[in-house]
Amino acid sequence: MKKLFLYLWIVGLLISCADEQDFDQFDDLSVEPTVASSVFYFEADEGTINFAGSGAFYQETFTFEAFNEAFISENILDGVITYQLENTTSKPLAVLVEFLDAGGNVLDSESFVIQPEPSPLLERQVAYGDGGRSLDILRNTTNIRVEGQNLGDATSQSSQSEPRIILRSSAAFRIRLR
Amino acid sequence: MRKTALVFWTTLFGVMGSYAQNKQLLYDFYEIPQALMLNPGMRTPYDKHFGIPLLSGFSLQAGTSGVTVNDLFANDGIDFTTKVRENVVNGLRRNDEFGGSGQIELFTMGFRSRNRPSDYFSFGMYGEGFIAQYWPRDLAILTFEGNANNLDRRFSLNHIATQGEAVNVFHFGINRELNRNWTVGARAKLYSSVFEFKSASNQGYFVTTMGEDNILRNTLVADVRLRTSGVQEIIDILEEDANTTQADLTRTLLSRSFLGGNLGVGFDIGFTHSFGRNSFITASLLDVGFIYHGNAIKNYTLRGAASNEGVEIILPEDLNDFNSEIWQELVNDIEAQVPFDTNEDAFVTLRPFKVNASFRYNFGAPRSRVQNCECGVNMTSRTDNLGYKSAVGGQFFMIHRARGPQVALTGFYQHRFGNILAVKTTYTVDKYTFSNIGLGINLQAGPVNFYVLADNLMGYTNIPDSNYASLQFGFNIISWNSN
């Protein structure tokens, strides 16, 4: 009898159970982190601006291939670029940021005008992707051109210590990993 | 997609680890010759034994801590990404792990010394492998959420810990019954490593903070190392564009298995001590040894520190010597500060040593046909050598792991049904489950011995919801010691 009981127990173990599983669910896995980094930082002191006189005091184009890196350009879903402009000089200033493709064509631009100090921090967010500007702008950007313009005089001096204009920028992109 | 899924699940569940090397059902189940591999100082009631080649000892074990297949793949209508986020990304801790191990005995033999019948020699060869992956919690969160909404959070690189190997082991052991109270044993081992990889004791972090100049500052401090031997050789064969892939792979695996790979040495020791006729304590220390990896090595390192606030243009400094390639310069600087390098430096790995111990009380012993005459270690019948009808006791197991020792405690009950059948049941508590009930059966039909041992039987009520499963079985030919 004991052996019979043991035998039945073993058989019972062998006929084990499993809840229904659906391994195709893996196809539905979505991994979409939002990655953030500073993009570029531009700073010019008031002495440099005065030295250049009125009008453009700086214009330069530099390569910037972070956006069109294959990993980003192929997987980006949407994103926001944040700009912060700070002016502690005594004159109104304008800054133009342009995104260029490999042929030098302007794909997108952002212009800022900021009043002399004391002026509040100017912050602007530009959305790309769903509801915003085309993601192709970012995908095709290989160069950035930055231009600074003095909209005031070339002699005045701010009473602030180390007067300057600062443009900060960062990007936060939602990337589809899966 | 299938390849991606395969990689994902291989990583998640295929790597189910060395904790599974606890063989509490087999330990001190001395009717089974393979128990000698867990304690070379076990009582040996055999005159000789011979394992059926490739079938004498086979074991597979797999487990997870913290999440089960059912948690993710149950057909419950819940969004899969939500289940992964809750159960895996946010649910698992850095000490949760996935792992598996397997062992197959290629051959084994044992015989009692004619000149000194208290000595029992055993030798053989087996292949084993394991893979263990600790959950890289911080990196998983970084991958799943990104850094944008995790300012000031340090994602630790210390969470990276993985280890795996395949090794062929040649062994020779001596078991000696010193007297009626003491049996001791030792086993020498020669390891032939097929492949091994290990990444542990990593340091560093990635953090995003408010920038000093710009809006954000990303900082990476890394001291990460992955050491491999034999792995790249296998990958190269798998990736070769030739019709000889299978033949090349077979040749390489065989060569590395039979002393053509990296070699090491080690030993096992153990004892059994009896108090009177019915109480026993046993202990063993297994796999104290090392492997020197000197060939087919490829190590990867990521070491250094870098912070990044994007491209910087500062006037007037950049007016006259402006470099329009400042983006590439920034990339180059970061790569120089935190270089990702490879090297072929030899290294030594210690074997993951294990400790077993037990207390056992036999009761209901079959009536001895030979009275205890204190007249010699070989003056007992086969029935006396098995020495029990029922037994209860407790066992202790510890394995040294990448993050320190892991232990398991087991209570067991063992019963013999005549000379044919013996059953052992265990209840084991470890970090993976508190409900691990195991059952082992040993059948002896004449000289033919067959055993099957299965763990965590409660899990069989719903296998996908089980954290742990193991199965061992084997066939032997045994000649009992009836002197």
Range with lowest mean pLDDT among B153-162, B239-248, B394-403, B407-416 = B239-248
With a CB cutoff of 8 Å and minimum separation 6, the contacts of B141 are B89, B90, B150, B155
Beta bridge partners of A12: none
Question: In terms of Cα–Cα distance, which of A172, A175, A150 is closest to A45?
Answer: A150
With CA atoms as reference, the chain A residue closest to B8 would be: A26
pLDDT at B280 over 50: yes
- Unique residue bearing structure tokens 């076990």: B42
Beta bridge partners of B190: B170, B265
Report the residue from A2, A26, A36 with minimal CB separation from B80: A26
Bigger pLDDT: B276 vs B337? B337
Q: What is the average per-residue pLDDT within B206-222? A: 96
pLDDT at B248 over 60: yes
Helix axes B245-255, B231-239, angle to 10 degrees: 170
- Both structure tokens of B294: 């000197």
Instruction: Flag whether B109 is in a domain.
Output: yes
Instruction: Flag whether B47 is in a domain.
Output: yes
Whether A11 and chain B come into contact, CB under 8 Å, resolves to no
Among B8, B139, B215, B437, pick the best mutation site for testing chain A contact (most A Cβ within 10 A).
Answer: B215
Q: What is the average per-residue pLDDT within B164-171? A: 95
Report the residue from B1, B144, B463 with minimal CB separation from A18: B463
Structural domain containing residue B464 = 15-480
State the CB neighbour count (10 A cutoff) for residue A60: 17
| Integer CA distances (angstroms), B273 to A90, B146, B287, B399, in order | 92, 58, 21, 23
The DSSP result for chain A, as a single string, is: -HHHHHHHHHHHHHS-----B-GGGGGG-----EEEEEEEEEEEEHHHHHHH-SEEEEEEEEE--STTSHHHHHHEEEEEEEEEEEE-SSS-EEEEEEEE-TTS-EEEEEEEEEPSSS-PPEEEEEEEETTSB-HHHHHH--EEEEEEEE-S-SS---SSSS-EEEEEEEEEEEE---
pLDDT at B41 over 70: yes
**ipTM of the complex in this document:** 0.87
Instruction: Flag whether B7 is in a domain.
Output: no
- Both structure tokens of B257: 């298995």
Instruction: Flag whether B3 is in a domain.
Output: no
Q: What would the pLDDT profile of A80-126 be if each residue is shown by its tens digit?
A: 999 999 999 999 999 999 999 999 999 999 999 999 988 899 999 99
- Both structure tokens of A79: 């994103």
- Both structure tokens of B133: 């992956």
Q: What would the pLDDT profile of A6-65 be if each residue is shown by its tens digit?
A: 554 555 555 566 677 888 889 889 999 999 999 999 999 999 999 988 889 999 999 998
Q: CB–CB of B457 and A39 under 8 A?
A: no
Instruction: Flag whether B57 is in a domain.
Output: yes
Binned at pLDDT 50, 70 and 90, residue B389 comes out as: confident
Distance from CA of B218 to the nearest CA of A (A): 7
Which CATH number does the domain housing residue B177 bear? Answer: 2.40.160
Binned at pLDDT 50, 70 and 90, residue B4 comes out as: very low
Instruction: Flag whether B4 is in a domain.
Output: no
Residue B20's pLDDT is what?
A: 47
Instruction: Flag whether B371 is in a domain.
Output: yes
Output b/e per residue, B61-75; b: 16+ Cβ within 10 A.
bbbbbbbbbbbbbbe
Binned at pLDDT 50, 70 and 90, residue B74 comes out as: confident
Q: Tell me the residues of chain A between 134 and 163 that have a Cβ less than 8 Å away from chain B.
A: 146
Residue B7's pLDDT is what?
A: 38
State the CB neighbour count (10 A cutoff) for residue A97: 21
CA distance B195 to B409: 31
> pLDDT exceeding 70 applies to what percent of chain B?
91
Q: What is the mean pLDDT of chain B?
A: 86
Q: CB–CB of B311 and A60 under 8 A?
A: no
Q: CB–CB of B423 and A6 under 8 A?
A: yes
Q: Are B120 and B35 in contact (CB under 8 A)?
A: no
Residue A154's pLDDT is what?
A: 87
pLDDT at B133 over 70: yes
pLDDT at B126 over 90: yes
Q: Tell me the residues of chain A between 41 and 60 that have a Cβ less than 8 Å away from chain B.
A: 41-45, 47-48, 51, 58, 60
Q: What is the average per-residue pLDDT within B191-196? A: 95
Binned at pLDDT 50, 70 and 90, residue B318 comes out as: confident
Q: What would the pLDDT profile of B336-387 be if each residue is shown by its tens digit?
A: 999 999 999 999 999 989 999 999 999 886 544 444 444 444 434 444 566 7
Distance from CA of B145 to the nearest CA of A (A): 4
With CA atoms as reference, the chain B residue closest to A9 would be: B439
pLDDT at B57 over 50: yes
Bigger pLDDT: A41 vs B17? A41
Q: Tell me the residues of chain B between 290 and 329 that have a Cβ less than 8 Å away from chain A.
A: 308-316, 318-319, 322-328
Binned at pLDDT 50, 70 and 90, residue B72 comes out as: confident
Residue A103's pLDDT is what?
A: 92
pLDDT at B109 over 70: yes
Bigger pLDDT: B317 vs B268? B268
Distance from CA of B431 to the nearest CA of A (A): 23
Q: Residues of A with CB below 8 A from B312's CB?
A: 40-41, 43
Distance from CA of A84 to the nearest CA of B (A): 8
pLDDT at B69 over 90: no
Residue B331's pLDDT is what?
A: 92
Q: What is the average per-residue pLDDT within B238-251? A: 84
In this structure, what are the phi and psi dihedrals at residue B44, rounded to the nearest 5 degrees?
Answer: -120, 100
State the CB neighbour count (10 A cutoff) for residue A167: 25
* Total domains, chain B: 1
CA distance B347 to B198: 11
Distance from CA of B240 to the nearest CA of A (A): 26
Instruction: Flag whether B5 is in a domain.
Output: no
Q: Set out the domains of chain A in order of their start, with CATH numbers.
A: 31-175 (2.60.120.1540)
With a CB cutoff of 8 Å and minimum separation 6, the contacts of B351 are B191, B264, B266, B287, B288, B289, B290, B291
Among B8, B69, B76, B315, pick the best mutation site for testing chain A contact (most A Cβ within 10 A).
Answer: B315
Binned at pLDDT 50, 70 and 90, residue B471 comes out as: confident
Bigger pLDDT: B440 vs B379? B440
Whether B394 and chain A come into contact, CB under 8 Å, resolves to no
pLDDT at B172 over 60: yes
In this structure, what are the phi and psi dihedrals at residue A33, rounded to the nearest 5 degrees?
Answer: -75, 155
Query: Helix/strand/coil (H, E, C) string of chain B?
Result: CHHHHHHHHHHHHHCECHHHHCCCCCCCCCCCHHHHHCCCCCCCCEEEEEECCCCCCEEEEEEECCCCHHHHHECCCCCHHHHHHHHHHCCCCCCCEEEEEEEEEEEEEEEECCCCCCEEEEEEEEEEEEEEEECCHHHHHHHHHCCCCCCCCCEEHHHCCEEEEEEEEEEEEEEEECCCCEEEEEEEEEEEEEEEEEECCCEEEEEEEECCCCCEEEEEEEEEEEEEECHHHHHHHHHCCCCCHHHHHHHHHHHHHHHHCEEEEEEEEEEEEEECCCEEEEEEEEEEEEEEECCCEEEEEEEEEEEECCEEEEECHHHHCCCCCHHHHHHHHHHHHCCEEEECCCEEEECCCEEEEEEEEEECCCCCCCCCCCCCCCCCCHHHHHCCCEEEEEEEEEEEECCEEEEEEEEEEEEEECCCEEEEEEEEECCCCCCEEEEEEEEEECCEEEEEEECCHHHHHHHHHCCEEEEEEEEEEEEECCC
pLDDT at B256 over 70: yes
pLDDT at B229 over 90: yes
pLDDT at B463 over 90: no
Q: What is the pTM of this model?
A: 0.81
Q: Are B141 and B180 in contact (CB under 8 A)?
A: no
Distance between terminal CA atoms of chain A?
A: 58
Residue B33's pLDDT is what?
A: 93
Q: Are B230 and B263 in contact (CB under 8 A)?
A: no
